[in-house]
Chains A and B, each alone.
Chain A
Amino acid sequence: MRLSLGRWLLPVYAVLALIFLLVPIAYTFVFSFNDSVKSNIVWVGFTLDNWLDVCSAQGVCEAFGNSLLIGAAATLGATLLGTLVAIALVRYRFRGRSAINLLLFLPMATPEVVLGAGLAAQFLAASVAKGYATIIIAHVLFCLSFVVVTVKARVSSLDPALEEAGRDLYGSPAQVFWRVTFPLLLPGIVAAALLSFALSFDDFIITRFNNGAVETFPVWVYTAAARGVPAEANVIASAVFLLAIAIVIVSQLTTAARRRRLARS
């Protein structure tokens, strides 16, 4: 800190690192406006056609729809199962807790390619046909542990006195849960659901082993990559990016507003 060199060296380094992180995003966005015919590699000229007629690339909108559907189903499953586990882990004492924690940690420490190949081997052994169901099963699996970790952090930050107050006021266990516990947990559950959806939507490595003939958006991009990805893929990725960033900004603004309101009262 005493050196003036250190004063500007770190900010410059950090800003360069942030710019580095943004380069491919900017590239993808810019090339979504490229007036290219088939493969979107060389800049030809500016056009809005790709944005106005996204579905003109064969199969891309169907794949995008599949990704939304699978993402929604996987999010629902993983959030439900994971939230229950998180509540149990924080609020109840029982034997075998460390074994359960290990079981939840292991899927996160397993490379995705092993998770994907393992499920595929099991579906093969049980002669299960691959399709929507097998993709959703795989996605719930890798989202589950992340949901547990996210919701667990929220549950353990809750003051149990609030629930006790509910019980003291003669609330039934169901009333206490739905009127006190659940609303307090909701931000954690929403965060976990958003994380699950993002993980599911962008997964390729596990999906590749279990998709059968169903194409998700990443599978579509991977198949197209062999001959050149059309600009419509950039349009979809850019639109999803803008939407996600909007959600992040809105959630940060509401958190900041709530904090200010709390500080004032």
Chain B
Amino acid sequence: MAFAVFGPASGSPAGSTESAPRRRGTIALVLLLPGLAYLALFFLTPLISLLLTSLQAPVEFGDIGQYQTAFRVENYAKVIEDYWPHFLRAFGYAVAATVLALLIGYPLAYFIGVRLRRAPFLQALALTLVIAPFFISFLLRTLAWKQLMADDTPVVQFLKAVAILPPDGHLTGTAFSVIFGLTYNFIPFMTLPIYTTLERLDLRYLEAGSDLYASPATTFLRVTLPLSLPGIVSGTLLTFIPAAGDYINASSSFLGSASTTMIGNVIESNFIDLLNYPAAAALSVLLMGVILIVVGVYVRRSGTEDLV
């Protein structure tokens, strides 16, 4: 299952191949080489390119978009000074969307993986519905929400009538609509890995819990939740990482506005519109660095019992 990517390594290799003769090492190398060379050339080298670009200086008397090799560490200080609110926004929105997606996705995954177990047809149907959003264009489903939240729609009119929204208020272009869009777009990524762990959950553990006079809540907290933790870890990472780097939901043609731009939007505009490659590269390096640190700490902490 592709969505269990962040879970524990699946299956150990067969024992009989462990004593395989040495020359099979050559076969392994031949199989691995093309894929690994590809990653070296188009994943690792680009990361080094980003690092080098992030330190470049403008060519003197050059045109816009002309830069030369340099060691301008100030580029980093400059982008942090200019764009720290975008960093905060990106991580704030991503955390909010991850929490909301978990609150929606976990009960859904539990229902499909545990309650629907004795109804295989309904289970397959529900799973198909969970992945259905993958099959409609990401951009169009986000635009659909934009149009559903437009100022003249009944929902917005109602919110204004009951004074939840001020008469001149909007739903689109706000932090609310961006977090809403991020949450919606990543619910399947949250639900599927949790479903894969809950689907394998041995129900006898839950019976044992109630046999030992644990309340349903205690059984859930002490048995079900810890056993589904690997799914929660993969689901939250599969939601948090793409959400933090997203620039569609927060773009002003979609659910955002100038006041909701995230770090992804700034990387995009610096690279593509402003041709300020060093700034875009420095922001990318910082984003990647922060995400690696967050993911590393999170995976390590959740690997122990600290989270439970």
Residues of A within 8 A of B (CB): 1-3, 6, 10-11, 13-14, 17-18, 20-25, 27-28, 31, 41, 80-82, 84-85, 87-94, 100-101, 103-115, 117-122, 124-125, 137-138, 140-141, 144-146, 148-150, 152-153, 156-157, 159-161, 164, 191-192, 195, 198, 202, 204-205, 208-209, 217-218, 221-222, 225-226, 229, 233-234, 237-238, 240-241, 244-245, 248-249, 252, 256
Contact = CB atoms under 8 A, between A and B. Distances in A.
Given A104-B39, A113-B268, A18 B129 contact: yes
Contacts of A156: 10-13
Given A153-B10, A204-B248, A121 B277 contact: yes
Contacts of A245: 128, 132, 135
A121 B20 CA distance: 44
| Chain B interface, DSSP helix/strand/loop, else mixed | helix
B1 interface: yes
| Chain A interface, DSSP helix/strand/loop, else mixed | helix
B140 interface: yes
Interface stretch (B78-86, B145-153, B159-167, B300-308): B145-153
Given A23-B148, A113-B245, A125-B49, A146 B133 contact: no
Given A10-B111, A23-B148, A218-B137, A111 B31 contact: no
Contacts of B132: 21-22, 25, 241, 245
A121 B50 contact: yes
A10 B23 CA distance: 56
- The 4 tightest CB contacts between A and B, nearest first, are A111-B245, A156-B11, A118-B46, A92-B28
B191 to A, nearest CB: 8
B21 to A, nearest CB: 11
B124 interface: yes
A226 B254 CA distance: 9
Contact of A120 (B110, B137, B264, B271): B271
Nearest to B280: A117
B281 interface: yes
Contacts of A148: 35
Nearest to A29: B136
24 contacts: A21-B188, A24-B133, A24-B136, A24-B141, A103-B39, A105-B5, A108-B5, A109-B295, A111-B241, A111-B242, A113-B246, A118-B50, A141-B38, A146-B2, A153-B10, A191-B2, A204-B139, A205-B246, A221-B139, A222-B139, A237-B136, A240-B135, A244-B134, A256-B120
The range of chain B's interface size is: 35 or more
A50 to B, nearest CB: 14
Interface string B66-108: 0000000000000000000000000000000000000011011
A85 B277 contact: no
Contact of A84 (B35, B120, B139, B267): B35
Contacts of B38: 81, 140-141, 144
Given A109-B237, A112-B242, A229-B143, 18 more contacts: A20-B104, A21-B188, A24-B142, A27-B148, A82-B35, A85-B32, A93-B17, A100-B32, A114-B267, A114-B288, A121-B46, A121-B53, A122-B45, A149-B5, A202-B138, A204-B248, A209-B268, A221-B137
A145 B238 CA distance: 14
A119 B254 contact: no
A64 to B, nearest CB: 11
B253 A222 contact: yes
B10 to A, nearest CB: 5
Given A160-B16, A245-B132, A237 B140 contact: yes
Contacts of B145: 24
B288 A237 contact: no
A82 B34 CA distance: 9
A41 to B, nearest CB: 6
B62 interface: no
Contacts of A117: 50, 267, 271, 280-281, 284
A112 B247 CA distance: 10
A241 B188 contact: no
Contacts of A17: 104-105, 107-108, 187
A101 B73 CA distance: 32
Nearest to A40: B147
Interface string B21-50: 000110111011011101100111111011
B14 interface: yes
Contacts of A112: 242, 245
A65 to B, nearest CB: 16
Most chain-A CB neighbours within 10 Å: which of B18, B36, B291? Answer: B36
